[in-house]
Amino acid sequence: MAHRVIEMADRMALEGKNVLLIEDEFVIAMDIEAELESAGAHVTCASRVQEAASAVEDGGYDAAILDLNLHGEVSFPVADLLVAKGVPFLFHTGHGVREKLENRYPGAVVCNKPCTHTDLIRSLDSVISARCA
């Protein structure tokens, strides 16, 4: 998959941020990881609920991108852990119903697949900034 050059304003939007990318589709994860790194982020990837939960427990993340369906498992336990740990996150999913996710996680940001890398990076930057405000 060809990587699109992100806009100059977004190039370093995530400079120095530690981002947990939770995505079970390998090609999608690799593509997003490359774009996040282009925006200055340090990225850790997880593709299963248990693996993601362990990463959240280990800590050290400024934010997370969370796919709703991970190999047939719903990732709500990971989202609950992120909330408990105070780690801002957004859902990047093709399976979630925006209203359902926003009801369960008030204020949740939902980026429906497919979305542009620019939109994903801007949304993640916004989620991080809102936490710091």
| 3 found inside a domain | no
| 115 found inside a domain | yes
Residue 58, domain CATH:
3.40.50.2300
State how many domains the chain has: 1
| 2 found inside a domain | no
- Can you give the pLDDT of all 133 residues of the chain as single tens digits? 444 444 545 556 799 999 999 999 999 999 999 999 999 999 999 999 999 999 999 999 999 999 999 999 999 999 999 999 999 999 998 876 788 888 899 988 999 888 898 999 999 999 998 876 5
Strand stretches in 1-133, DSSP E:
18-22, 42-46, 63-66, 69-70, 73-74, 89-93, 109-112
Eight-state DSSP code of residue 113? S
Range of 86's domain?
17-132
| 61 found inside a domain | yes
| 127 found inside a domain | yes
- pTM of the model as a whole: 0.88
| 62 found inside a domain | yes
User: How many CA atoms lie within 13 Å of 106's alpha carbon, on the beta-carbon side?
Assistant: 0
